[in-house]
Structure 1
Amino acid sequence: MHSGSSPLQKSRKSLEHLLHTEGVDLYATLAAAECSAPEGYHPRNLLPSAKTVIIFGLEIPTETFSLASREKTGRLHRVIGRLDEIAFLLVKALEDEGYRSIAVPSFFPVRVRDRRIMGYLSLKHLAAEAGMGSIGRNTLLITSRSGNRVALGAVVTEKELHVERPAVSPPRCRRCNRCIKACPTGALNEEGVDVLRCRNVTHAIPAPVRPLFGVLFESRAGAPLTEWLVNRMARDAEMVCSRCLTACPYFREGGGG
């Protein structure tokens, strides 16, 4: 039996107050029943009793991406850490009310499935479904407030919550192909990202083991070892390339431009 239950309106205001207090202005909710994620990546795979996904984002300043790769990576890791902190605060607040809740990792750990590196839930797709933005050809979320410079976190909860969606439709990718043309290794195409070509992945893998990594990555049987390697390397890897992000028209002007 849930303790401290309150009307939906009061729950929404409590959620918004907590997020605003933590410096979050970009957020949305999505009913688990409305989520179109496939089996294995659905919120109810994390929490069978889930009713709501709370998705929130922090804007990354434009100057971050002009820094040297080590400093840029350090700043991005601090953003990731902050998102995880906020998620745990939300979980505590919800569980104090008696609702089971789970913080979704904003970045680490990742999973390797079907030649793709992904999180436990696709936060950008959940955010798009919730009306926060849309997915661009560079596979990034485009938002009205912060363009494509958004890092995401989420909490899955069995509490029913609802935040009104913006009246304005989210911005849409212009299909200008600037991101595809900007990629120095041809890792990006109309079908997505070839991670074995992405410099952020290849830079993290020592040259002598890259051929072996490629074989494991292509093999379904090698997925567990590949996943272990990716998570081991990712925490120390530098973000050496962000051209698909910075070449996008939405990088500086925001989704409303």
Structure 2
Amino acid sequence: MNLTEIEDLIPECCTAAKIDINECYRKEKRALEEFAPSVKSIIVLGHHIINAREWIWTHMKSERGNCTCIADLHTKDIIKKIKNYVEDEGYNSKIIPYPEVSGVRFKKLAAKTHMGEIGDNFLFLHKDWGPWIHLRVLLTDAKISSKQENSMDEVCIHCGKCIEACPANAISQNGFDSQKCRERQEELNNAHSCEICARICPLGETPEKIKLVQVDE
């Protein structure tokens, strides 16, 4: 199976890349094989977030901390479409649950592809879209070929803007403090609601921020 067949299934707002299971570190490989013991290829799907409304997370029963958003639902529908195609071709496949459930870091898998890399803000940065990308991952026992090169040039320009802007001081030149970031989200009482490090990033086209208008009764 060729990656081109997968790309023909997805809309223009999305992109797909593949990784061979042997490109993963031993710990990653072991975690992925727990979901699909015969996995040979990993398909990483990315959706370009163009409208800020796509990124409004609401409390809803789902596999990601009981929260979801339009981008999440859309990307899930597309990865299901890919899954159905792969299985119609006679192969097995498995959609990986989000990291809170699976322990598999989607951004680390995406960083092994031609799509982009993890930036100083610890967000996955697409080479064209910057931080405005939502990821999904599918495992399959199909051997997927591709003419695309997985390695690519550096994407993050290390401008330091995210470090200066982070209100929780979670980002530093030495790394990322996920606990501080999590506490910031809890303070806002709205899952994934802090977009400061994404909006300050100069890469990609930042969606216009939604303005909440109070209506007087």
TM-score under structure 2 length normalisation: 0.77
Match of 1:120 in 2: 103
Match of 1:177 in 2: 160
Cα separation, partners in 2 of 1:92 and 1:137, compared to 1, 3 Å:
same
Which of 5, 12, 18 is matched with 2:9 structurally? 18
Kindly state the Cα deviation for residue 197 of structure 1 after the two structures are TM-superposed. 4.5
Which of 39, 61, 85 is matched with 1:93 structurally? 85
RMSD (Å), alpha carbons: 2.7
Q: Does 2:132 match 1:149? A: yes
CA–CA distance in structure 2, aligned partners of residues 12 and 181 of structure 1: 40
Kindly state the Cα deviation for residue 103 of structure 1 after the two structures are TM-superposed. 0.8
Q: Assess if the C-alpha contact under 8 Å between 2:21 and 2:29 holds in 1.
A: no
CA shift digits 1:176-233 (9 cap, x unpaired): 22111111121222321332454223433xxxxxxxxxxxxxxxxxxxxxxxxxxxxx
Q: Does 2:150 match 1:158? A: no
- What is the number of residues matched between the two proteins? 195
CA–CA distance in structure 2, aligned partners of residues 58 and 87 of structure 1: 10
Cα separation, partners in 2 of 1:143 and 1:37, compared to 1, 3 Å:
farther
Match of 2:75 in 1: 83
Runs of 4+ in 1 over 4 A off after TM superposition: none
CA–CA distance in structure 1, aligned partners of residues 12 and 181 of structure 2: 36
Cα separation, partners in 2 of 1:78 and 1:91, compared to 1, 3 Å:
same
CA–CA distance in structure 2, aligned partners of residues 197 and 12 of structure 1: 36
Q: Assess if the C-alpha contact under 8 Å between 2:91 and 2:140 holds in 1.
A: yes
Kindly state the Cα deviation for residue 48 of structure 1 after the two structures are TM-superposed. 1.0
For 2:123, the aligned partner's letter is L
CA–CA distance in structure 1, aligned partners of residues 69 and 153 of structure 2: 27
Q: Assess if the C-alpha contact under 8 Å between 1:59 and 1:151 holds in 2.
A: yes
State the SS of the aligned residue for 2:18: strand
Q: Assess if the C-alpha contact under 8 Å between 1:124 and 1:152 holds in 2.
A: yes
CA–CA distance in structure 2, aligned partners of residues 96 and 240 of structure 1: 38
Cα separation, partners in 2 of 1:186 and 1:37, compared to 1, 3 Å:
farther
CA–CA distance in structure 2, aligned partners of residues 12 and 251 of structure 1: 25
Gaps of 5+ in 2: 59-67, 207-217
Q: Which structure has greater helix proportion?
A: 1
Which of 231, 238, 241 is matched with 2:194 structurally? 241
CA–CA distance in structure 1, aligned partners of residues 169 and 14 of structure 2: 35
Aligned-residue identity in percent: 24
CA–CA distance in structure 1, aligned partners of residues 187 and 70 of structure 2: 23
Match of 2:178 in 1: 194
Match of 1:215 in 2: none
Q: Does 2:100 match 1:110? A: yes
Q: Assess if the C-alpha contact under 8 Å between 1:195 and 1:201 holds in 2.
A: no
Which of 114, 138, 145 is matched with 1:131 structurally? 114
Kindly state the Cα deviation for residue 24 of structure 1 after the two structures are TM-superposed. 4.6
TM-score under structure 1 length normalisation: 0.66
CA–CA distance in structure 2, aligned partners of residues 203 and 60 of structure 1: 22
Q: Assess if the C-alpha contact under 8 Å between 1:182 and 1:244 holds in 2.
A: yes
CA–CA distance in structure 2, aligned partners of residues 42 and 137 of structure 1: 25
Gaps of 5+ in 1: 1-7, 112-118, 205-236
Match of 1:250 in 2: 203
Match of 2:44 in 1: 55
